[in-house]
With several copies, the nearest count.
Chain A
């Protein structure tokens, strides 16, 4: 069965390592914070100028000066630090953020990503996404494997305007975990009960299957 959004987030959380600095994008990536494994300490970066982001505030304790990059009211954890947007993107560009998780509309087999613009639709802007994908050493994309029409979002080439080129390292979709390799998408894990065949059918880009592909543990 395909994973829920929560389960995608849960699976991505297993990629976290103790001491990681992590930037979580809007949507499914945000949910990853709910599944940080026991014994693992990570520091969440919000690109509007915060290291050490905590959970949403209790009702009545919202602080208008304290928001995340999704403009939601949040809190800090002990040891947090505020800084300006130049330093925030400075640390992102300098590769100090260990893991970046974001959503995508399309990913190509060479790691290109499209997630900011659909021609003909109102374009809201790229926000910090182009900076993040161009800078991060370690990008995991959290996405549905297909669009609502059932068409693959893992493509030979992106059809939408690009956000960044050759930057995605790993994809966790509702159906599978895949690495982006020089030879194409490499299938690492299947969602419980989802066959390699089904994943193949729903992956338009080149996909490599080597040996037995285990089911994810979620």
Chain B
């Protein structure tokens, strides 16, 4: 059992043109920086990316957009990216917008072996078009299918060589959900440790869900909206 790979290049080496990827993160928080950089260098194309956001022009998934590697984005909010907007308006890029909770729950469904789940989000709106609507206890719900993704690429704070992962603060977000949902799951971590170094009570993603793991380098962790208060 060897899940440890040397670096991001090795982790993504079998991701081919046309693959469906899940990428963890919320905005630029908790994104798999090293793996995205490796995908950009690899130049793989026609990707479908399931990720809550699409990065900014010069960071995150925005880097892949700039290289025109992305065919389709499945996201809940994509606003912070001029190149994204240009490709969308020109028809080069396809976008499917879905509610954020639906995105999370469709990942959970995949990770928990549920083929589809009911959520009220979007019932009675254009999001419901073409979907089954069903009433339970007087309330309408949409039937939403579990995601299928060839690869899930996530970023954790600490991980061990068996693939157990711990996330930090709000950098958790979609990462543990996507980690459970990929056919193959790649985890990059800030600190890779030996089995036994992480307290088994506080593992967020058990190693069974993780197929490849490596310690990333040079994390930039860019802040998207730097807000501070004036007093201490």
Chain A interfacial positions (CB closer than 8 Å to B): 18-19, 21, 41, 43, 45-52, 55-59, 61-68, 70-74, 76-97, 122-131, 134-135, 161-166
Question: CB < 8 Å: which of B30, B100, B161 contacts A65?
Answer: B30
Distance in Å: Cβ of B148 to nearest Cβ of chain A: 12
Whether A49 pairs with B170 at a CB distance below 8 angstroms is yes
Q: Which B residues between 155 and 187 are near A, CB-CB below 8 angstroms?
A: 157, 160-162, 164, 167-177, 180
Cα–Cα, bound, A79→B3 (Å): 13
Whether A89 pairs with B30 at a CB distance below 8 angstroms is no
New A-B pairs, 6, CB < 8 Å, besides A71-B224, A130-B101:
A56-B227, A62-B223, A82-B169, A83-B172, A84-B177, A86-B177
Distance in Å: Cβ of A5 to nearest Cβ of chain B: 17
Chain B residue with the shortest CB-CB distance to A68: B170
Distance in Å: Cβ of A157 to nearest Cβ of chain B: 13
Cα–Cα, bound, A84→B105 (Å): 11
A–B complex contacts, Cβ < 8 Å, 10 sampled: A48-B170, A49-B170, A57-B229, A62-B227, A72-B226, A73-B226, A86-B112, A89-B121, A127-B99, A134-B123
Whether B112 pairs with A66 at a CB distance below 8 angstroms is no
Whether A128 pairs with B76 at a CB distance below 8 angstroms is yes
How many residues on B have C-beta within 8 angstroms of the other chain's C-beta atoms?
A: 81
Question: CB < 8 Å: which of B28, B79, B98, B111 contacts A124?
Answer: B79
Contact A93:B209 (CB < 8 A) given known A41-B1, A48-B170, A67-B170: no
Chain A residues with CB below 8 A from B221, complex form:
64-65
Stretch at the interface among B7-15, B37-45, B61-69, B193-201: B193-201
Cα–Cα, bound, A125→B114 (Å): 23
Q: Which B residues between 49 and 67 are near A, CB-CB below 8 angstroms?
A: 52
Whether A86 pairs with B108 at a CB distance below 8 angstroms is yes
* Residue of B110, B207, B208 contacting most chain A CB atoms (<10 Å): B208
Distance in Å: Cβ of B70 to nearest Cβ of chain A: 16
Whether A62 pairs with B228 at a CB distance below 8 angstroms is yes
Whether A128 pairs with B99 at a CB distance below 8 angstroms is yes
Chain B residues with CB below 8 A from A123, complex form:
97
Whether B125 pairs with A130 at a CB distance below 8 angstroms is yes
Whether B101 pairs with A128 at a CB distance below 8 angstroms is yes
Contact A91:B209 (CB < 8 A) given known A50-B170, A52-B200, A84-B174: yes
Whether B76 pairs with A134 at a CB distance below 8 angstroms is no
Question: CB < 8 Å: which of A48, A57, A93, A124 contacts B26?
Answer: A48
Whether A82 pairs with B201 at a CB distance below 8 angstroms is yes
Cα–Cα, bound, A70→B100 (Å): 13
Per-residue CB proximity of B74-93 to A under 8 Å, as 1/0? Answer: 01111100000100110000
Chain A residues with CB below 8 A from B194, complex form:
78
Chain B residues with CB below 8 A from A86, complex form:
104-105, 107-108, 112, 177
Distance in Å: Cβ of A110 to nearest Cβ of chain B: 11
Chain B residues with CB below 8 A from A46, complex form:
170
Whether A131 pairs with B177 at a CB distance below 8 angstroms is no
Whether B123 pairs with A51 at a CB distance below 8 angstroms is no
